Amino acid sequence: MATIGENLSMASSFGWLDNDDEQRRRMLEVVDLFREQGTIDELGIGSIRDTLANAMFPGTSTLHTRLRYVLFLPWLMRDASHKRNPNEMGAEFRNMQYRLTESLLAGGENEGVMGNVARRNLKRLPGDVYWSALRSWGLVDATSPDAYYRRLADFRALKQRTAEPDDVDAFTALATDGIDPDLPPPAPDLLRRADFALTPHEEEYLKDRIATRTRGTLLAWLVINQPTNASGADAANFPWEIANRDELPEDLGTTVEHARRFSEIVQGAALVYNLALARRAGRDEVADRHAESLALWQDTSAPDDARSWDRADWWALITRHNPQLRSTTRDFIERWIELAGSGAELLTSDQAARLVENRERQIKGARARFVNQAALDRWSGSSGLGRLDFRWGNSIVHLRDLYAARAAA
């Protein structure tokens, strides 16, 4: 029978392995994020963007497509676990994910199917992309598929060595496979013909699971409270545009308002950055285009919002969710808010141009376009101008899948 010491030692090794996979997963997510059009973090505000996104929509990713993937993956993981060792389990799980792509295409799906073009050349499989959701929403207890299979194999080996049945607690711990026991049963013919439509049972399960595990967030609230403009021609493009925003609890309403102000105010800094680069590159037509956009931005409510913003409450929110925020990032944002609300003519402001130039040099060093002619020559003429929506675009697709299943029930 395994001793307590053996169990503690094994648990420690699991933690080390899990942490190693967690670091790898996070690094891959960051790499993929900067490949996404419109999300390039030229001015180093990504940490604040992600802090707000995680606060409102925990577990989500900019690479997510459709919600039913969070059920497909545990089903496939469990099926692949019949293999003899972790390497074979992992290989089988990867192969099943390729087969899932073919199954979804055979089922008539196309939009949102991961690998619908790359097929078996797909590098980032759904199991990597959706792992944050599986963990955050409590469907799987592990930091990566590989960590899951290593732990499962070790538990099985430990169970075989545990001959004494009188240790009830140990036996119970070994009985779990790390997948939520309340997970709905697999879809029939999953790897032959599948689709993204949730069954009533699956919708009820995911609604309860997400609402419970993300309680107190905008995601949890929207799972229960469907806005009338979740889809259609007047669909909300940002979380602050939902039709039932006035019904939000006070704390959520405050978070959404802070997100709105940050998104709209920091847009001006991106415009100043692009205008300054265009002028540095001597590209007059590009500069005229950015100057026109910046002039339009100064006529919006953003400068007034900068002046009236309760910044003490704003920074309290950010610090609460991200106590490790760099002081240089906070200083840059503070200086930009002051400048944005000062009434200065940003089109001709040397102070504004210096602020964004110094910030780029601070975060990029010798690679900064303001000091690296080769980097400036490669510049497309527009960079980092995408409006921050804090993963709303991905989250609302998941919510629509829930709402559609609810309406069809």
Q: Which domain holds residue 14?
A: 1-34+69-187
Residue where one domain finishes, among candidates 138, 168, 187: 187
pLDDT at 34 exceeding the cut of 50: no
Q: What is the mean pLDDT of residues 135-155?
A: 88
Q: Rounded CA gap, 43 and 109, in Å?
A: 38
* Structure confidence at residue 14 (pLDDT): 36
Is residue 229, in this structure, part of any structural domain at all? Answer: no
- Residue 20's pLDDT band, with cuts at 50, 70 and 90, is low
Same domain? 160 vs 303: no
For 226, phi then psi, to 5°, come to: -75, 125
Is residue 4, in this structure, part of any structural domain at all? Answer: yes
Is residue 388, in this structure, part of any structural domain at all? Answer: no
* Structure confidence at residue 220 (pLDDT): 98
Is residue 144, in this structure, part of any structural domain at all? Answer: yes
Is residue 395, in this structure, part of any structural domain at all? Answer: no
pLDDT at 50 exceeding the cut of 50: yes
Question: Of the candidates 326, 385, 369, 389, which has an alpha carbon nearest to the alpha carbon of residue 40?
Answer: 385
pLDDT at 6 exceeding the cut of 70: no
Distances (CA, A) of 289 to 296, 303, 340, 347, 381: 11, 20, 20, 12, 10
* Structure confidence at residue 169 (pLDDT): 52
User: Model confidence over 188-236: pLDDT tens digits?
Assistant: 899 999 999 999 999 999 999 999 999 999 999 999 999 999 999 999 9
User: Model confidence over 293-324: pLDDT tens digits?
Assistant: 999 999 999 999 999 999 999 999 999 999 99
Gyration radius from the chain CA atoms: 24
Q: What is the mean pLDDT of residues 339-349?
A: 96
pLDDT at 32 exceeding the cut of 50: no
Mean of all residue pLDDT scores within the chain:
88
Is residue 168, in this structure, part of any structural domain at all? Answer: yes
Q: What is the mean pLDDT of residues 88-114?
A: 95
Residue where one domain finishes, among candidates 142, 168, 187: 187
Same domain? 255 vs 367: yes
Apex CA 198: angle with CA 195 and CA 204, to 5°?
Answer: 165
* Structure confidence at residue 18 (pLDDT): 44
Same domain? 139 vs 284: no
* Structure confidence at residue 13 (pLDDT): 34
* Structure confidence at residue 287 (pLDDT): 98
Same domain? 94 vs 168: yes
pLDDT at 359 exceeding the cut of 80: yes
Give the residue with greater pLDDT, 35 vs 19: 19
Distances (CA, A) of 195 to 78, 104, 192: 19, 5, 10
- Domain count along the chain: 2
pLDDT at 116 exceeding the cut of 50: yes
By residue count, the chain amounts to 409
Is residue 209, in this structure, part of any structural domain at all? Answer: no
Is residue 389, in this structure, part of any structural domain at all? Answer: no
pLDDT at 185 exceeding the cut of 50: yes
Same domain? 182 vs 254: no
Same domain? 180 vs 324: no
* Structure confidence at residue 224 (pLDDT): 98
User: How many Cα atoms sit within 13 Å of 216 on the Cβ side?
Assistant: 4
Same domain? 254 vs 141: no
